[in-house]
Amino acid sequence: MSDFAAIVRHYGIPARDPGQTRPEVAGLATRRHASRRGRQSSHDRSRRLAYLDDVFPWKRSGFRYREAYAIWELRPDTLFFSLWDLTDPFPAPVHRLTDFPVIASNAGVTDAYGVFLLFLEGLCGLRPSNNAPPHPFEGPDLSAAFRVAGVRLHGTIYPGGGYAPTPECLARVRALSMRMETTFSYVPEVLEQIPAVTRVDQAFTDTSFYAPTTERWRRRRPVTCLFAADGSKRKGVDEVIAAFRDLSPEAFHLHLAGPHERRAGELAERIASFHGWLSPEALRDLHALTHVFVSPVRQEEASDGTGAQPGLVDGFPTQAATDAMSSGCLLVSSNPAQDHRVLTPGVHYVEVAPVRDSLRAALLEVAADLDRARAIAEAGSAQVRAKMDVRPATAVKLRHMGLLGAVSRQD
């Protein structure tokens, strides 16, 4: 997979060839940057941050886009770089990552930030296997540029992106942390086994964008459900489709967002609507109709041709589930890592096994007592909005990096 078009087809990324200019985005950045100059009251003006990514801006990537946007809000002097150039608008110019050494030197960049094990390893010149061809999203080796310019690299280790909970991956994280100024993570085994890693919250939802709505609860039937995820087997679309084959279209309706249109023939039109990929705005509109967000996630057992990694477990709740909860939907989800640090089953969400019968039984219970479902949904929404908002979490990271003092931000 060496050409850009093949990468786009494989990962389902809406994109164009890298290197194309973005005059409309540059103009937007000039206008909006000027409008926020008066809001930043205090930070170390002798330091400047560069945000580095493989595919950015990419609204469909969810948390990465929102964290980058929050960084821009708090440090509007940040420079943004991407390995691939995408079409999503962003309020600052996005430069080619290969141009980082020259642009960063001329702009006085002192610090850089990126995410994911595989990408950060590439930036540091640490490859998991020197004999293997580069992964499409492996970061280029910028270690010499960092060293010459004295740039401090910071990064976050998330589930996926080359990381799975294995001894080999933990060893790679340990080696990487020795090359970086600050290594962040919320992954339990990383925090337990690597003391150099800084604990941060799993908080990437834009709660001002995904504000709670109540219209859904005025409609008692059908109970409207939403599944939104990519095609990886661990996301659970097979179990969702199987569960809804046995449910009544008078009592339930399922919306599926993501690359699942080829499976439309597996459910009757009366009970299911297949939407394909949706923009964040369209997905938010769908949240307003949705009683239940279903997420029967599991550990990835084997590569399924979509770039999945055996052993991978998504963070709980997933980004799509967190956004839906922030909007006021009830989460019905499995929790393969048994991570109850933020959400308590039966209080903030309904926990199920990632199998058809368990999911179906939980949905029937929801339909039998919609008032109880609403109470859990509202408690979950309040918890997400209090604990998982992207802006305060991003501010904490910037403070750990020494890039943020007292900031006066007007929403």
CATH classification of the domain holding 135? 3.40.50.2000
Same domain, 125 and 60: yes
Token pair 């919250």 is found at 201
pLDDT in tens, the chain (411 residues): 333 343 334 334 444 333 333 332 333 333 233 333 333 434 566 899 999 999 887 777 678 999 999 999 999 999 999 998 787 889 999 999 999 999 999 999 999 999 999 999 999 999 766 677 777 788 999 999 999 999 999 999 998 888 988 999 999 999 999 999 999 999 999 999 999 999 999 999 999 999 999 989 999 899 999 999 988 889 999 999 999 998 999 999 999 999 999 999 999 999 999 999 998 999 999 999 999 999 999 987 765 554 556 767 778 999 999 999 999 999 999 999 898 999 999 999 999 999 999 999 999 999 999 999 999 999 999 999 999 999 999 999 999 999 997 433 433
- 125 and 245 both lie in a single domain: no
Whether residues 287 and 322 fall in one domain = yes
User: Is residue 341 domain-resident?
Assistant: yes
CA distance 249 to 251: 5
Rounded CA separation 175/178 (Å): 5
Are 94 and 164 part of one and the same domain?
A: yes
Same-domain status, 237 and 380: yes
Beta-strand pair 79-84/94-96 = parallel
Q: Does residue 84 share a domain with residue 53?
A: yes
Show Cβ contacts of residue 262 under 8 Å, excluding neighbours closer than 6 positions: none
> Is position 24 within any domain?
no
Domain that holds residue 337: 215-387
Q: Are 228 and 144 part of one and the same domain?
A: no
Same domain, 230 and 199: no
- Does residue 223 fall inside a structural domain? yes
Same domain, 358 and 396: no
| Euclidean distance between CA atoms 239 and 295, whole angstroms | 10
Residue 264 domain-assigned (yes or no): yes
- Which residues, including other chains, have CB under 8 Å from residue 295's CB and lie 6 or more apart? 227, 229, 235, 236, 317, 318, 320, 321, 331, 332, 333, 334
Q: Is residue 4 part of a domain?
A: no
In a domain, 322, yes or no: yes
Verify that 84 and 176 share a domain, yes or no.
yes
Question: What's the structural domain count of the chain?
Answer: 2
Report if residue 379 sits inside a domain. yes
Could you tell me if 198 and 72 lie in one domain?
yes
Together in a domain, 122 and 227:
no
Dist. CA 101–CA 107, nearest whole Å: 10
Q: Minimal CA–CA distance to 409: which of 398, 399, 395?
A: 395
Long-range CB contacts for residues 213-220, cutoff 8 Å, separation at least 24: 213/287, 213/288, 213/327, 213/328, 214/328, 215/288, 215/289, 216/288, 216/289, 216/290, 216/291, 216/328, 216/329, 217/291, 217/370, 217/374, 220/370
The phi, psi pair for 196, rounded to 5°, reads -70, -10
Q: How many helices (H) and strands (E) does the chain have?
A: 14, 13
Q: Please check whether residue 92 lies inside any domain of the structure.
A: yes
